[in-house]
Structure 1
Amino acid sequence: MCGRTACTLGPDEICQACSVRTMKDGKKQYQAPEWRDHPGGKSYTTSYNIAPSRFTPVIISDHHVRGVKRQSDDEVLSPQRIIQPMMWGLIPPFYKGSSPTGHGLTTNNCRVEDIEEKKSYKPSLIKGQRCVVLCDGFYEWQAIKGEKTKQPYFVYAPQPEGIEIWNRESWDKPGVWSEDEGWRGPQLLKIAGLFSFWISTEDWLDFGRIGYKEALTNLTNEVELTWHPVSTAVNNSRNQEPNINVPVSLDKKPPETASSKLMSAWLSKGSAKKDNSALKDMKREPGKTEAPEHYEEKEKKPSPFSKWIKKESDDNANDN
């Protein structure tokens, strides 16, 4: 996961999208988890372009809220799921400052490879403070050779036929959820996470029964993700247009928004100044020689995401 997400469903819709099939009065029905407001009064606001430090919904076990519930002295009841907003970015347990973001560390992403060594994450892991982060999807950027601006992609879970998670009109209809049939709208992306005060689904949430070492072994990438290129307007977190994660064609220039037009004008003005400055430098140094013709700029190694995109493109070409 990278540093920007989208989460556009309201609280009720998020709970319905996370409903599970249960037995109620001897009949199988779908039950939506409870929404719990943030205890500190922080609210969740839907957005197409979410940066770290914003409050977004996560699933946790109710044992972290109400304490471990028991049916008897020997039998612990299974945890129930609760959804509540949490700030994106773990507050390290050793941090003693007054501001939740004043620690100066980047804690919005955690690698499973070193999670047991990092003093920022290990205490939450040991205490069973595991959660599931909910979102429509996240954004990832691919560097393009010869281009200054990276191409953003929107990465999300596979969707039911006919549903476009970025297009609300494709699914927001009567009967999108019922106790008999469950949720029939878009599928949210569910990401394993840690919190410094909370938890999430199934074995990952059941910290009383599943130890952290066993929970870590269950973190496998079993779901194939889907992606498509989106407008470069997502590069600026201030851009909140509702069509920011709609697919765009890479064969033609994507439509400009009011924000992107302003940015283009500003960049063009800055480029002109830069070019004039370069000419002045050349006039001041007439004896300066140009770089040899055989000189080539050292090429950067492709990022893992670039390799992923290339592999999918090669596979599709082979299939065709």
Structure 2
Amino acid sequence: MCGRTACTLAPDEICKACSVLTVTEDGKKCYKPLQWKEHPGNYSYAPSYNMAPSRITPVIISEHHVQGTKRDSDDETVPPQRIIQPMMWGLIPPFYKGSAPTGHGLKTSNCRFENIEEKKTFKPSLVKGQRCVVLCDGFYEWQTSKGGKNKQPYFVYTPQPKGIEIWNRESWDKPNVWNEEEGWKGPQLLKMAGLFSYWVSTEGEVVMSYSVITLESGKEYSVIHNRTPAILETDMDVESWLDFGHIGYKEALTVLKNEMEITWHPVSTAVNNSRNQEPQLNAPISLEKKPPQTASSKLMATWLSKGSVKKGDSTPIKKESLEPKEEPTEELEEEPKEELKKELKEELKKELKEEP
């Protein structure tokens, strides 16, 4: 499933990250950013490290779904252009009548692949060719522990080029991150197959919304969760999914698969609350737990730190200085002082008495 994402790039960066290789009239090859279209209603996209359903996020659709879009070519054999159109996450059912787009009360952020042709919420969009590609840095998923009590969040994303950490903007935000000759050299966005719809409120407001298609997880990803978004890995996958004019929905559905090349790492449980928006929410953390330090172990650590250096010297001893030498440069205390010995014994006795 997919219930929370990170989408941190600005509109112009997203357009460049989705650049397509084109050929000019004089035969020159160059990369061209996609066009950004604002939402038709009173909604706008804002980058977020913790994007929840009902928020506005960027998706790619075919130019044929956008009125007034001018084509570069009149050749019908040329694949339609791609347009980036921000939409509300959570498809508004076509049968819903109300004044508020979220008033229907249904959970539509995801739609299951297995019954997508049967659900009256999603089938109209499928039949009309209203297919889209949902863009994000990656999505969050919660792995349930064996006992079923604790859930550890993970950040799932597409493998990145060497040297790029998608959670670390400083690793890629350079002056030459994009140019016409080489295209986008920043983080690779995750692309998920979805369906979208147009909905008009009783007040006459037009709202575009979408749902992410999910499948049963493949063997590798099933260790995290039993459902996975339908991820489009290649440019050909994206083209086939969007080209509803030449590829019917039944054929397009065969493109979707649950085995794909993705990666993930554990993140802080701070992501559990969608109000948290810290920049490090999608950064990796360690799950190794350090054993609690007892009073005696703290005291021993204090003694070791005192015995590792000369009195009045705050410089730690290097590893090689502990090896035997002909002329030792430092005098190391091999035995704790009598008062420390006594304190250690007393602390150990105290701990033994307190153990159940």
Q: Which TM-score applies when normalising by structure 2?
A: 0.67
Map of 1:27 onto structure 2:
28
The alignment status of 1:120 with 2:121, answered yes or no, reads: yes
Residues 101-149 of structure 1 show CA distances to partners (whole Å, capped at 9, x for unaligned) of 1111100001111100111000000000000000000011012245743
- Please state whether the residue corresponding to 1:220 is helix, strand or coil: coil
Q: Provide, for residues 7-36 of structure 1, a one-character-per-residue CA deviation record: whole Å limited to 9, x for no partner.
A: 000001101110111101311111111011
Q: How does 1:127-166 map to 2 (within 5 A)?
A: 127-146=128-147, 148-166=149-167
- 1:245 aligns to 2:282 (yes or no): yes
The structure number with the bigger radius of gyration is 2
Q: Runs ≥4 in structure 1, deviation > 6 angstroms?
A: 67-72
Per-residue deviation at 1:222? 5.2
Task: Judge conservation of contact 1:59–1:201 (CA < 8 Å) in 2.
Answer: no
User: What is the CA distance between 1:219 and its match in structure 2?
Assistant: 1.1
The answer (yes or no) to whether the contact 1:44–1:55 under 8 Å persists in 2 is yes
* In 1, Cα distance between equivalents of 2:61 and 2:187: 21
2:13 aligned partner: 13
2:262 is equivalent to residue 225 of structure 1: yes
In structure 2, give the amino acid aligned to 1:251: E
CA shift digits 1:204-228 (9 cap, x unpaired): 1111111111111111245311000
Aligned to 2:322: none
- Where 2:14 maps in the other structure, the secondary structure is helix
Specify the SS of the correspondent of 1:247: coil
Question: Which whole-Å deviations, capped at 9, do the CAs of 1:123-180 have from their partners, x for residues lacking one?
Answer: 0000000000000000110122457431100000010011000000000011100000
Unaligned runs of 5+ in 2: 199-207, 211-236, 291-356
Match of 1:172 in 2: 173
1:69, 1:222 → 2: CA distance?
37
Answering whether residue 93 of structure 2 is matched by residue 56 of structure 1, we say no
CA root-mean-square deviation: 2.1
- 8 Å CA contact retained: 1:5, 1:138: yes
What secondary structure sits across from 2:111 in the alignment?
A: coil
Superposed CA deviations along residues 45-76 of structure 1, whole A, max 9, x for unmatched, are 1111011000000001111112798977x947
In the TM superposition, what is the alpha-carbon distance from 1:40 to its structure 2 partner? Answer: 1.0
Q: 1:239, 1:149 → 2: CA distance?
A: 20
Alpha-carbon separation, structure 2, partners of 1:146 and 1:211: 45
Contact 1:137 1:156 in 2 (8 A): yes
Q: How does 1:294-305 map to 2 (within 5 A)?
A: none
User: Could you tell me which residue of structure 2 aligns to residue 268 of structure 1?
Assistant: none
Identical columns (%): 76
Aligned partner of 1:264 in structure 2 is: none
Contact 1:57 1:83 in 2 (8 A): yes
- In 2, Cα distance between equivalents of 1:68 and 1:80: 9
